[in-house]
Amino acid sequence: MDMVDPFGRTISYLRVSVTDRCDFRCVYCMAEDMTFLPKKDLLSLEELDRLCAVFIEKGVRKLRLTGGEPLVRKNIMHLIRELSRHLKSGALDELTLTTNGSQLSRFATELADCGVRRINVSLDTLDADKFHAITRWGHLDKVLAGIDAAQAAGIRVKLNAVALKGFNDVEIPEMLRWAHGRGMDFTVIETMPMGEIDEDRTDQYLPLSLLRAQLEQQFTLTDIPYKTGGPARYVEIAETGGKLGFITPMTHNFCESCNRVRLTCTGTLYMCLGQDDAADLRAPLRASEGNDLVASAIDEAIGRKPKGHDFIIDRRTNRPSVSRHMSVTGG
Q: Does the annotation flag 52 for ligand binding? A: no
Sheet architecture: strand order including 243-247: 221-224, 233-237, 243-247, 185-190, 156-163, 118-122, 94-99, 62-66, 13-17, 260-263, 268-270, 278-280
Q: What per-residue confidence (pLDDT) applies to 200?
A: 67
Q: How many domains does the chain have?
A: 1
123-172 confidence digits (pLDDT tens): 999 999 999 999 999 999 999 999 999 999 999 999 999 999 899 999 99
Q: Does the annotation flag 15 for ligand binding? A: yes
C-alpha dihedral (148, 151, 156, 159), degrees to nearest 10: 10
Q: Among candidates 17, 6, 16, which has minimal Cα distance to 56?
A: 16
Q: Does the annotation flag 68 for ligand binding? A: yes
**Within-domain flag for 3:** no
**Within-domain flag for 290:** yes
Q: Does the annotation flag 114 for ligand binding? A: no
95-119 confidence digits (pLDDT tens): 999 999 999 999 999 999 999 999 9
Q: Does the annotation flag 201 for ligand binding? A: no
Q: Does the annotation flag 4 for ligand binding? A: no
Q: What per-residue confidence (pLDDT) applies to 230?
A: 78
Q: Does the annotation flag 192 for ligand binding? A: yes
**Within-domain flag for 7:** no
**Within-domain flag for 176:** yes
CATH number for 218? 3.20.20.70
**Within-domain flag for 1:** no
Q: What per-residue confidence (pLDDT) applies to 323?
A: 62
**Within-domain flag for 247:** yes
Q: Does the annotation flag 156 for ligand binding? A: no
**Within-domain flag for 143:** yes
**Within-domain flag for 6:** no
Radius of gyration of the chain, Cα coordinates, nearest whole angstrom: 19
Q: Which residue range(s) make up the domain with 65?
A: 13-329
**Inter-axis angle of helices 45-57 and 76-83, to 10 degrees?**
20
Q: Does the annotation flag 13 for ligand binding? A: no
Q: Does the annotation flag 158 for ligand binding? A: yes
Q: What per-residue confidence (pLDDT) applies to 217?
A: 97
- Calculate the alpha carbon distances from 217 to 175, 205, 220, 221, 236 in Å: 16, 21, 8, 10, 15
Q: What per-residue confidence (pLDDT) applies to 63?
A: 98
Q: What per-residue confidence (pLDDT) applies to 331?
A: 53
Q: Compute how many other C-beta atoms are within 10 angstroms of the C-beta atom of residue 110.
A: 13
Q: Does the annotation flag 265 for ligand binding? A: no
Q: What per-residue confidence (pLDDT) applies to 251?
A: 61
The low-confidence residues of the chain, meaning pLDDT below 70, are 192-195, 197, 199-202, 250-253, 310-331
